[in-house]
Amino acid sequence: MTRTPVNVTVTGAAGQIGYALLFRIASGHLLGPDVPVNLRLLEIPQGLKAAEGTAMELDDCAFPLLRNIEITDDANVGFAGANVALLVGARPRTKGMERGDLLSANGGIFKPQGKAINDNAADDIKVLVVGNPANTNALIAQAAAPDVPAERFTAMTRLDHNRAISQLAARTGAAVSDIKRLTIWGNHSATQYPDIFHAEIAGKNAAEVVNDEAWLADTFIPTVAKRGAAIIEARGASSAASAANAAIDHVHTWVNGTAEGDWTSMGIPSDGSYGVPEGIISSFPVTTKDGKYEIVQGLDINEFSRARIDASVQELSEERDAVRELGLI
Ligand code: NAD
Ligand code: LMR
């Protein structure tokens, strides 16, 4: 049976994450080895030429699943009929820029893109925001798309999730594949909280295996939360291949489901669970099935975790208030 191609839109397609992402989408890693894709590359005018170069390379791979590529700087064209949208293009923070300036500059990108998604995307659109500040950019886009169910707008904390698993594996000598049920709570920022109290290592409680709260507080949490900055320091550029890999993981899990007994972390509009104010886009433990996600309920949150979740959620509330004041939501 020939399947209908899925339309995948990538913004910031000519950037470094775009370059690491597009080839994996086209080779079937985003949606599955039997799902054909049409790619829509959305760039600003200055990025169009480089996007054309990337499209030439995509052609040269002769990917059996890649049906066509369209390149545009018009968001209405870029999101026309989109089933999956990866919002990667964003305005990076530059020297001397305050958080308010960054939120305002990105509002100028994510508000019109949200509206273009609202007006042009397919009914089953799923959106992943990667561009920073990812959670609040997702909120801005979602607020500009009142006809799209709010839960279709998500922000990427899967890179943090993967980083935390890797750090935990290194500390305990476990295989990555033995680690389950890790959770990232809150914002994709230095306040995020990687939680191992419900995680399992080969079926045993991870916090009990580690049994070292000082390591948790002073090494594990800051290493995961500040990993983005450490990569920038080491590479001279922010994470790209690992970020693209996490974007692939996020959408693949959303579409194809979490494994039995496991969960993942996604930035999603809060329904008020775990005391996170309704509406803000915060990372939660979620299971996914049939293209839908659900927050894992009933986890016992200890004092150590509560304080850290609250701090990150507080930052998200402040970001929401700031973009509200700027008239972006
Ligand atoms: P980059 O500067 O290499 O590329 C960004 C691209 O976006 C550029 O080609 C630029 O022309 C394009 N762009 C800018 N405004 C646009 C618009 N309005 N429409 C379409 N395209 C636009 O940056 P990068 O390294 O690819 O990173 C992209 C973003 O992802 C940054 O905000 C970065 O901080 C963020 N990031 C997030 C995570 C995460 O875990 N959530 C991880 C890594 C990076
Ligand atoms: C990352 O986590 O690698 C990115 O969000 C880049 C950054 O600024 O931390």
At 261-293, the pLDDT tens digits run: 999 999 999 999 999 999 999 999 999 999 999
Percentage of the chain lying above the pLDDT 70 cut: 99
Using CA positions, which residue lies closest to atom 1 of ligand 2? Answer: 228
Q: Residue with structure tokens 């509406």? A: 279
CB contact at 8 A, 124 and 314: no
The string of pLDDT tens digits covering residues 124-163 is 999 999 999 999 999 999 999 999 999 999 999 999 999 9
pLDDT of amino acid 215:
98
Element (H, E) at 87: strand 84-87
- Cα separation, 9 vs 293, whole angstroms: 21
User: Quick one: 260 exposed, middle or buried, by C-beta within 10 A (0-12, 13-18, 19+)?
Assistant: exposed
- For residue 19, which atom of ligand 1 is closest to its CA? 26
The overall average pLDDT reported for the chain is 96
Residue whose CB lies within 8 A of the most ligand 1 atoms, among 9, 17, 41, for a mutation test:
17
Query: In this structure, which ligand is nearest to the CA of 159?
Result: 1
Query: In this structure, which ligand is nearest to the CA of 11?
Result: 1
Distance 67 CA to ligand 2 centre (A): 32
pLDDT of amino acid 1:
54
Band of residue 98 on the pLDDT scale cut at 50, 70, 90: confident
- Using the predicted structure, report yes or no on whether residue 180 has a pLDDT greater than 70: yes
- For residue 17, which atom of ligand 1 is closest to its CA? 26
Q: Can you say which residues are annotated as belonging to the binding site for NAD(+)?
A: 12-18, 106, 113, 130-132
The string of pLDDT tens digits covering residues 203-224 is 999 999 999 999 999 999 999 9
pTM check: above 0.80: yes
Give residue ranges with CB within 6 A of ligand 2. 132, 159, 228-229, 231, 238-239, 243
pLDDT of amino acid 100:
77
Distance 320 CA to ligand 2 centre (A): 20
Using CA positions, which residue lies closest to atom 20 of ligand 1? Answer: 43
pLDDT of amino acid 214:
97
pLDDT of amino acid 91:
83
Q: Which amino acid makes up residue 221?
A: I
Residues forming the active site: 188
